[in-house]
Structure 1
Amino acid sequence: MVTKNNVHNISEAEWEVMRIVWTLGEIHTGQVIAELQAKKAWSESTIKTLMGRLVKKGLLKTRKDGRRFVYSATVSENQMMLEATRQMMGHMCDMHKGQMLLELIKDVPLSKSDIEKLEKQLTQKEQQAPDTVDCNCLASEQHDC
């Protein structure tokens, strides 16, 4: 289960481990080490420590396969990314979220299929969208931040 605490307490290095597990699915320790060492100058013990931390956080689970451990994610990449994004957006003024999304769209690689889905979602959202979004930074008066 993804909680705000899981997402908040995952380090950049742990994200690297999770990306490999999400990409390859069930994976044994040696595969994770090989993949990470091809990208990073990390020791085997560092990688095992990261994997152990992710197990303790409940983001990876293990099972024994003969003499080695097999790891798999307990949460999908989409679930984790969605929660991380929601956390980030929760720190922003409502007025500025639309502009932030525009900036992200400029920077993110998108397929034609992704763009079609975005266009469809935006068309649906437009039906109920207000003319402007109010600032939600202060409890008292409405402000333009």
Structure 2
Amino acid sequence: MIKDNNNMTTSEWEIMRVIWTLGEATSRQIIRVIGLKTDWSPSTIKTLITRLKNKNYLTDNGAARDRLYTPTIAEQDAMTDTLHQTINSMCAMCVGDAITTVIASTTLSQHDILHLQDTLTQRLPAAPETVACDCMPDNWED
């Protein structure tokens, strides 16, 4: 589970995506892959790796050379936790529209769409007719 004060930056996500894809990676591998995608210097990439270690998203094997980095959180867990944190910071009344907009502009497979449809169909009977705004406490005018 991601701690609120340890959110990954967009740049850190780029590093983690490489490591998640490879399963584990040396800094040399990470630098090579990130270098193909960005114009970041090796020192910038190493700084991001250090930040991810300090945030406990990565561990390493302790080797002096060819240090091997391994993620401490699964990619799907990190994605789910980050989405939950983002949604929980929004007005509850507006979340549905935001999700709809994101779905409309995101490339999804047919399997993904069918899965979403099934999930929504299952949720529909128990869903409230409307969702109230939760931006202000009930007694804010007192």
TM-score (norm 1): 0.88
Supply the distance in 1 between the matched residues of 2:50 and 2:64 (Cα, whole angstroms): 19
* Backbone CA RMSD of aligned residues: 1.6
Residue of structure 2 in register with 1:70 after alignment: 68
* Runs of 4+ off more than 3 Å: 64-67
Supply the distance in 1 between the matched residues of 2:9 and 2:29 (Cα, whole angstroms): 21
Q: Deviations over 1:58-111 (max 9, x none)?
A: 001111468311111110111111121112112211111111111011011111
Structure 2 counterpart of 1:106, from 104, 107, 111: 104
Q: Note the 1:1-145 alignment, pairs <5 A.
A: 1-7=1-7, 10-64=8-62, 67-140=65-138
Unaligned runs of at least 5 residues, structure 1: none
Shift of 1:36: 0.8
Shift of 1:14: 1.1
More displaced stretch, 62-71 vs 79-88: 62-71
**Residue identity in the other structure for 2:47:** T
Shift of 1:44: 1.3
Q: Percent identity?
A: 38
Unaligned runs of at least 5 residues, structure 2: none
TM-score (norm 2): 0.90
Give yes or no for contact 2:57–2:72 (8 Å, CA) kept in 1.
Answer: yes
Supply the distance in 2 between the matched residues of 1:123 and 1:11 (Cα, whole angstroms): 34
**Residue aligned with 1:109, SS:** coil
Figure out how many residues of one structure are paired with residues of the other and give that number.
139
**Residue identity in the other structure for 1:6:** N
